[in-house]
Chains A and B, each alone.
Chain A
Amino acid sequence: MHQFIKKTLLFFLFGVPAYLVVLIFWGEFMPNSFKKNLNYSLGAYGHMYTRIREVKQVKNIDILFVGSSHAYRGFDTRIAQQYNYKSFNLGSSAQTPVQTKFLLQKYLGKLNPKILIYEVCAGAFTNDGIESSMDMIANGKVDGSLLQMAFDLNNIKVYNSLLYGYYRQLFNRDRNFKENIIINSDTYIPGGFVEHKMMYNADTISGAVREKTLWLPKQYQLTAFEKTVSLINQKGIKLILVQAPVVKQEYEKYADKNKIDNYFASKATYYNFNNCLNLSDSLDFYDNNHLNPTGVTIFNKALFDSILKK
């Protein structure tokens, strides 16, 4: 028995450094097609790299926006400025409640917003949150709060990426990286908003009918969301939950839309903009999920006019 315990401990003693060596080798030298379980993409999508660096310079704002790509592509901080609101958009690609909780724990104190607009995309609650956490790891700073997020998700991909990210941070391996303000059709606007080039949505032309599904949120996402709600309430910040508009075909995919609306309405002030805006699926969107600049303007004006002026 003693021999077994001794050898098991030895196995792990050699195993941990061996794992770290393999991990670094994997991250540095393997082609991307072999990195399914180690996803470290600096500045990959959604300008998170630039956003995270900008948020460190910002404090004491009026409005903070959080949520998935619907948020950082949907809430235009320049329009908020026209309404005399100093705002910042902390949305990120596929951001789920677990990541929102992490971002708020990290930046809420410094940003000190009066209002938090939380974009609650129903799909974010059914997502495992792994891809979004990779975004945070690669573009943010690896620290205790990120480790806490990794524990919440408890996935080997997240641990691999976190350790590799820590190595890169420790040896300053990303010092030469610079994210362009314009990437393909996206332009980063100071304040965290990402503007997409004016395009129209061609997806709706096919008119494909999607099979209806039930909304089955993951328990840990609901828990993270509810913890965020109570954190916001504790701090006395006004919380507004917003469901950003998507094309009808996309919005109709859940058979139990009322359940979704009732859930969010029970947590805070909630507005579903799929029910109250007269948007064209082809003219105001550039794809099935995201508004084009015309759509963003309509949506934001409606948001600030009818909600914030109340």
Chain B
Amino acid sequence: MVFTSFNFLVFFPIVITLYFLFPQKFRSPFLLIASYFFYINTKPVFAVLLGGVTLTTYIFTLLINKTKSEKKKKQLLVADIIIVLLPLVFFKYFNFLNDGLFTLLEYTGLRWPLPNISLLLPVGISFYTFMALGYVIDVYNEEIEAEKNLGIVALFLSFFPIVMSGPIERATNMFHQFKAKLAFNYSMAVNGLQLILWGYFMKLVVADRVGLYVDDVFKNTDSQFGSTLLLASLLQPIRIYADLGGYSLIAMGCAKVIGINIIPNFRRPFFAPTMSELWRRWHISLIKWLTDYVYTPLSFSVRKYGVWGIVTALMLTFIISGVWHGAALGFIVWGAIHGVILSIETLTKKRKDNFEKKYFLNTSKGYFFLNILSTYVLFSFSLIFGAAAISVSAALGIVEKIFTNSFHKPYIDGGTLLYSFIGISLLFIKEFMEEYYPGRVLLFENKNKLIRWGTYYFVLFVIIFFGFFGGEQFVYFKF
């Protein structure tokens, strides 16, 4: 079931009503049933996999908790990581690895006998696998006790607002909320519905409209001018942000109505003046996961190499981030590009700070704006490898065309771009006010009911009259 489907608009109010009608002790089990029902709606067989990952995680965390020997604990951790990762590797990377081995062996004259398998990637597998891994590592690090109630672990991994596309939650944040006596909280419910409304705006008015143009262009790059490819490349980050950001807001909103707080996934990423700042604002749950479970242990183990150790850890972390996004060389290149940019920023940070101080640039609005702009352009460029093209050579072809064939009027799909412009403008104005004038212009939170409700109706009508209702998929479903 997808958030933008009519089925979900029926499902959610029913779940909420029943949830609060049930006595406290039945609420968590009911949420678990509702979550599996939600997940099964995509493809029932995928639920078996989710169940398997849940059971494995549950058993291994209990075993790790019980074991006294550090060595055995470590063995159990490694075994769990391998077992939990197996389905992800099989479904997501089998063909990629198979192709790689085939090509490699071809050079030596050997033949790789395994044929490629046409597999449908189970929705959300990358997300719940990372959540399961995070939980077992937390138990190993003794940051959390292993949960004895299988239902709580199952609910954590299948919780319907986040099971499809995150945010990648932590057991430390969720378990105590599932176990708490959740009473209806008026302000949380209202706030949740506000988030849902804005999430739908981002998805239907911005992401899906911009996506119409972007997909149209990237579907057939050979026949496009460089200027068209440039325009589509510059729109791509907005599309992805509005898509996953919108999804995350709907997820957060649904959870809030139930009375559960989940971590925010984005914080106005396009106002970041540096790439490191952008990554503190973009897909926060994934970056936080990678920081805690990959970057920090890695940089700790290579700290003797000083700044170069940090660079190595950064590169590896972002390459892993690329691999997580997809089984293609393009994603690895995308990750590597970010590793390189962040490494450069790390290595030059002191000099840059001194330079800015010397020429009073840190107070210059123009300079700040230029930094925001260049960060955005760099990010757009990286996405040519990570989202636009199906292969590295195709991505390079796009880049080449942008630089050599851009002196033409780009392809303008008038209606779509006009609608996109309206959506992007509204999104930008809201985020601009929140970034630079927080609390100055209150709309959703205004104490005046007329303004507050007027805003709700305005956003609702913008969705109804400007939204695109043809596509029911989210970009991150394929991850």
Binding site for B on A (CB under 8 A): 1, 3-4, 11, 14-15, 18-19, 22, 26, 33-34, 36-38, 128, 130, 154-157, 160
Is B477 positioned at the interface, with any CB of A under 8 Å from its CB? Answer: no
* B418 A160 Cβ-Cβ under 8 A: no
**Across-interface contacts of A33 in B (CB, < 8 A):** 414-415, 418
User: Smallest Cβ distance from B135 to chain A, in angstroms?
Assistant: 33
Report the bound CA distance from A38 to B469 in whole Å: 12
Check if A15 sits within 8 Å of B460, measured CB to CB: yes
A174 to B460, CA, bound (A): 29
| Bound form: Cα–Cα A128–B468 in Å | 14
With most chain A CB atoms within 10 A of its CB, the pick from B453, B465, B466 is B465
Within 8 A of A (CB), among B185-202: 186, 189-190
The answer to whether A156 and B467 have CB atoms under 8 Å apart is yes
Min Cβ gap A167→B in Å is 16
Contact B457 A18 (CB under 8 A): yes
Number of interchain pairs (Cβ within 8 Å): 45
| Complex Cα gap A15–B463 (Å) | 14
A-B contact pairs, 28 of them (CB 8 A): A1-B20, A1-B184, A4-B184, A4-B186, A4-B189, A4-B190, A11-B453, A11-B456, A14-B453, A18-B457, A18-B461, A19-B461, A19-B464, A22-B461, A33-B414, A33-B415, A33-B418, A34-B465, A36-B415, A36-B466, A37-B464, A37-B466, A37-B469, A154-B6, A156-B464, A156-B469, A157-B469, A160-B464
B residues in contact with A22, CB < 8 Å: 461, 465
Q: Does B470 contact A (CB under 8 A)?
A: yes
Which residues of chain B have C-beta atoms less than 8 A from A15's C-beta? Answer: 457, 460
CB distance from B414 to the nearest CB of A (A): 7
In the assembled complex, the CB of B39 is this many whole angstroms from the nearest CB of chain A, namely 21
A11: shortest Cβ distance to chain B, in Å?
7
B332 to chain A, nearest CB (A): 28
CB contacts under 8 Å to A, within B171-230, are 184, 186, 189-190
**B444 interface hit (Cβ, 8 Å):** no
Inside 8 A of B102's CB, which chain A residues have their CB?
none
Q: Given known contacts A11-B453, A36-B419, is B186 in contact with A3 (CB within 8 Å)?
A: yes
Q: How far is the CB of B236 from chain A (nearest CB, A)?
A: 22
List the A side residues contacting B20 at CB < 8 Å. Answer: 1
Bound Cα distance from A14 to B450, whole angstroms: 12
Is A155 a contact partner of B184 (Cβ separation < 8 A)?
A: no
Consensus secondary structure, chain B interface: helix
What's the minimum C-beta distance from A166 to chain B, rounded to whole angstroms?
Answer: 17
What residues on A are CB-neighbors of B415 within 8 Å? Answer: 33, 36
Least distance between B223 CB and chain A CB atoms (Å):
11
Q: Which residues of B contact A156 (CB under 8 A)?
A: 464, 467, 469
What is the 8 Å Cβ interface bit string for chain B, positions 334-350, against chain A (1 contact, 0 not)?
A: 00000000000000000
Provide the residues of chain B in CB contact with A34, threshold 8 Å: 465
Chain A contacts for B466, CB-based, 8 A: 36-37
Residues on the A chain within 8 Å of B190, using CB: 4
CA distance A1 to B461 in the complex (A): 26
Alpha-carbon distance A129/B461, docked complex (angstroms): 24
In the complex the two chains form, is A37's CB within 8 Å of B418's CB?
Answer: no
| A residues less than 8 Å from B465 (CB atoms) | 22, 26, 34, 37-38, 160
Measured between beta carbons, the chain A residues less than 8 angstroms from B418 are: 33
Taken together as a complex, chains A and B put the C-alpha atoms of A14 and B20 apart, in Å, by 26
Smallest CB–CB gap between B155 and chain A, Å? 23
- Chain B: which residue is nearest A160 at the CB level? B464
Of B184, B186, B453, B469, most buried by chain A (CB within 10 Å of CB) is B469
Which residues of B400-426 have CB atoms within 8 Å of chain A's CB atoms? 414-415, 418-419
By a CB distance below 8 angstroms, the chain B residues around A18 are 457, 461
Q: In chain B, what residue has the closest Cβ to A15?
A: B457
**5 tightest Cβ-Cβ pairs between the two chains A and B:** A1-B184, A156-B469, A37-B465, A22-B461, A154-B6
Q: Give the CA-CA distance A156 to B415 in the complex, in Å.
A: 18
Task: Return chain B residues, CB-CB under 8 Å to A36.
Answer: 415, 419, 466
- Which residue of chain A is the closest to B190 with respect to CB atoms? A4
Q: Which residues of A contact B414 (CB under 8 A)?
A: 33
When C-beta atoms are compared, the residue in chain B nearest to A157 turns out to be: B469
* Assembled-state Cα–Cα distance A1/B184 (Å): 7
Distance in Å: Cβ of B455 to nearest Cβ of chain A: 12
Residues of chain B within 8 A of A3, CB atoms compared: 186
Interface string of B10-26 (1 = CB under 8 A from A): 00000000001000000
Residues of chain B within 8 A (CB-CB) of A155 are 469
Inter-chain CA distance A34–B416, complex, in Å, is: 10
Residues of B within 8 A of A14 (CB): 453, 457
Chain B residues near A130 (CB, 8 Å)?
A: 470
Q: Which residues of A contact B419 (CB under 8 A)?
A: 36
Most buried by B among A1, A3, A26: A1
Rounded to whole angstroms, the CA-CA distance of A128 and B472 in the bound complex is 13
CB distance from A144 to the nearest CB of B (A): 20
Q: Give A37's nearest chain B residue, CB to CB.
A: B465
Task: Name the distance in Å between B418's Cβ and chain A's nearest Cβ.
Answer: 6
Cβ contacts under 8 Å, B453 to chain A: 11, 14
User: Which residue of B6, B189, B457, B467 is within 8 Å of A37 (Cβ)?
Assistant: B467
User: Considering the complex, which residues of chain B in the window 117-164 have a beta carbon less than 8 Å from any beta carbon of chain A?
Assistant: none
Min distance, Cβ A247 to any Cβ of chain B, angstroms? 21
Contact residues of B between 258 and 295, Cβ < 8 Å to A: none
**B1-54 contacts to A (CB < 8 Å):** 6, 20
Docked CA distance A155–B468 (Å): 10
What's the minimum C-beta distance from A131 to chain B, rounded to whole angstroms?
Answer: 11
Given contacts A11-B453, A33-B414, A160-B464, contact A128 B6 (CB under 8 A): no
Question: For A1, what are the chain B residues with a Cβ–Cβ distance below 8 Å?
Answer: 20, 184, 186
| B463 to chain A: closest residue by CB | A156
Q: Give complex CA distance A127, B296 in Å.
A: 51
